[in-house]
Structure 1
Amino acid sequence: MPDRDLLPVEAGVDRDELARVEVRSLVASTFTSEGVMFGSMSLVGVEAGAWSPQVIQEFRLLNAALVARLNLEHARRSLAEAIEARAEAQAANQQFFGAVGHELRTPLATVLGYTEALLDDAEHGTADGVATGMKRDGPVIVRSCERLLTIVDSLLGAGRAMSTDDERQEVRLSDAVADVVHWHRTPARTAHVDMQAVIDPRLAAWGHPSAVRQILANLLGNAIAHHHPAGGTVHLSAEQLLGESGHPMVRVVVRDDGPGLTSEQLEHAFEPFVRFAAPATPGSGLGLSLSRTIAEREGGAVSGMSSPGAGSSFWLEVPAYVPQPSPE
C-alpha cells in the first residue's frame, strides 16, 4: 500500500488508525498454516511512495523463513501434545475399564450369592421355605440384573455412536431433538415430566447423526430421571455461537427444574459411575462420562451448570453446519 489515502471509503477506520500512528505506507503479509491465519508481519513507512523491489523481495524471504520456523515449532509442540494426550487417554482408559469391572462385579456377585442361597433352600428346605426365600431374595436379584442391563446398554449405545465409519454430515437439530423427545415419551409420562422443545429449524450440526442423538438422549434421560417427586418440566433449546477457536458452533441445552447439584457434585458428575440420585433412581452413572467422550470425538464438548433447589442445565456443543457456496 503506497499511500493510506488510496484506501477505499469503506476502510475509513483503518485509514484513521494509520494516520493516528503516523503511518503513510505499508507492506504486510500473513502467516498461515493449513489455510488458517496465526500471525502477521508488517513494514511501515512515514512517507508515501512505492516500496523498492529489493525491499519487497527481502520482506518475502524473511516472511517465508519465519513461517517455516513457526510451522516447525508448531509441529514439534503438536507432537509433544499428542504424546501427552495419548498417555492421558491410556490412563483414562485403564481407569475406565477398572471402574467398569468393579461396577459389573458388584451386581454379578449379588446375583450369584442370592441364587446360591435360593438353590440351597430348594435342596434342603421345604416348599414354604423356598417360597419365603424367593420373596425375600428375588427382588434383590431383579434389581441387580436391571443394574447390569443398564450398564451394558450404556456401553453398547456409546459403542455404536463412536464406532460409526460414516462421513460427517448435516444434522438438523430440530429433527434430532424431535427423535430424542419421542424416545422418552413413556419415561417422561411415567415421571409426570413435561418436555418442551423450542428449536430453530435452521440450526444444524456437522457430525455423525447417531452420536448427536446418543448424547442428547443421555442428557434428556438424566433430566427426566432426576426430577422432583411431583414431576416437573424439561426445556430443550438451541443456539448458534462462536467457539473458543472462532469457529461456528451450535449448542443444545437441556434444562430441568429438579433438585439440582452442589458445585462439588457438579465437579465430579462427569466421572464414570458417579451418581448423586436416590438409590431407587434408575441409571448407570455412565451417561455424562460417555457423552463427554463422544462429544469430544465430534470436535465438541458437553458441560453443565447447576444450583441446589434451582435445577440443572446440561448442554451439547458441536461444530455448526456451514453450507458451502455454490460453484456457480
Structure 2
Amino acid sequence: MMNAETFHPAPDRQRKYLGHKIVLAVLVYTLLVASLVTGVQIYRAYQTALSNLEQRFTEIENSYLPSLAAGMWSVDVPRIEALLDGIAKIPDVGRLHLRGELNDDWQRKHPAHRQVLLAREFKIIYREGSDTFDMGSLHVELMAQDIQARMWDTAKSIAITTTVSLLMSALFVLFIFRRWIERHLVKTAKYVQQLDLTNLDQSLQLDRPNSEAQDELDLVVYAINSMRSSIQSDMKKRDILDQELALYREQLEQLVAERTADLQSKTMLLESKSEELILQNRELDAYAHTVAHDLKQPVSNLMGASNLLNAENLELSAEKNRMLLISIQQSSKKMHAIIDSLLLLARVRKDDNLPLEKISLEHAAHEAYHRLSALAAERYAQIHFSGHWPAVQGNEQWVEEVWANYLSNAIKYGGDSPQVEIGATDLANGYVKCWVKDSGGGLSSEQQDQLFEQFVRFHPAAAEGHGLGLSIVQRIVYKLGGEVGYDKGMHGGSVFWFTLRSA
C-alpha cells in the first residue's frame, strides 16, 4: 500500500491513465463476448448449411434415382450421361460414382473438390409392377470448399461489424470518462497533494455545473473539504492546549528527569549488586561441591599409596614401590590439573574471550578412560571406542572432564556389566558430535527435562556424587561454543552427546 510519503506522481508520458485501462477492460470483455456470440452464430450457420446439404441428397434421391434406374434398365447411355451431368451441377456436389450391375462405371468430379464433407451411397432399384431389380449403386460426395468459404465470409462480416462497433463504443466511453471523471480526479489529486497545514483556508472546487442531485464526485469533494475544516478546527484547539501545557511541561520534565535519573542510578546499582551476589554464591557453592566430587578419587589414590609406603610391617619390592610412587605422582598431577581447571572455570564468568586450541578428541577420551579404569573394572564395564576421531577447537582439560563425566555416568547407571560405546561424528554444519552410549534403562521425559540441572540425582543409591557433573558439563560445553543433549538409544539405553566446533 502506498502512503503520502512514498507516492510520487509520474510524468504525463509515463502515467497510466485510468480511462485507458477502463476502455481496455471494456474492449477485452466485449471482444470475449463478441467472439463467443460470433462462434455461436457461425456454429448455427454451419448446422443450417449441413441441414441444407441433406436436402441435396433428398433431391437426388427423389428427382434423379428413378430416372437413372429406368435409363440403366433400358441401357440408355446418353440418358444416363445426361442425368449424371445434371446431378453434378447441383451445388456442393463434388464427386459422383455410378456402378452398374454389369460392372458399368461412370464418374463425375468437380474441379474444386478436395475435401469430403458428406457422402452417401444410393441403391438404384428399378420397379416394374410388383417386381424390383437391383441396377447398381450411386456414390455421392458433397465437398466442403463452398460451405467453408461461406462460413469464412460470414465470420469476416461479423468480425468487421463487431470490431467497428466496439471501437466506436470504446472511443465514446473514453470521451465520456475524460470529460466527466478524469479531469476532476486529476484536479482533486493535485489539490490533496498540495494540501498542508499552511493552506487549509483554500477549499476544493471542481469546474462543473451545480446540481441539486449530488453524485460520487460531489461526495468526494464534500468529504475532502469537511476533512480540511476539521483539521483546521483541531489545529486551533491544539495551539490553545499547547500554550496552556507548555508551562507545566517544562516543570514536569525537569522534575521527572531528576527523579528518573536518581531512580535509575539506584536501581542499576542494586541490580548489579544483587546479580553479582547471586552468581558468586552459586559459583562458591558449585566450586565446593566440585572439589569434593572431582578430587575425591585422586586423593583416595594418593592416601592409599602413601599408606602402603609408610606401612612398617609391609615389605614391598622396588618395582612395587616405583609403581606406587608413579601413582602418587600421577594423582598429584591430576589434582593439580583439576584445581587449575576449577580456577579456569571460575574465570569464565568474568572472561568471555577464552582462548581455544586444536585438540585431539581421542586423546582426551582415552585420558578420561584411564582415570575411570578402576571404576570400569569394578563394574565389569566394557568400553569400546568406535568411528572417526576428528580434531576440534576447545580446551583439552575441559573436554577430558566432559568425557570423564559422561563415561562415569554410563558405567554407574549402565546396568550389570555395562556395555559402553564412545565415538564422534562429523556434522554438516562444521561441528563434531561426541557421544557416549550405554546399555542402561534410559530416562523418562520428566527426567530428561531436569537432566542438566545442579544437584539433581535420579538414582541416589546407585552411586556416590552430588548431582553436579552434568551441570558442569553444560557450563563447559556452552563456553566452548557447543551444545549438550540426550537421546534414547534405538535398542534401549541412553546416548549422552555434546558438540564442538571442528578444527
What TM-score, normalized by structure 2, do the two folds share?
Answer: 0.32
Larger radius of gyration: 2
Whichever structure has more helix as a proportion of its residues is 2
Whichever structure has more strand as a proportion of its residues is 1
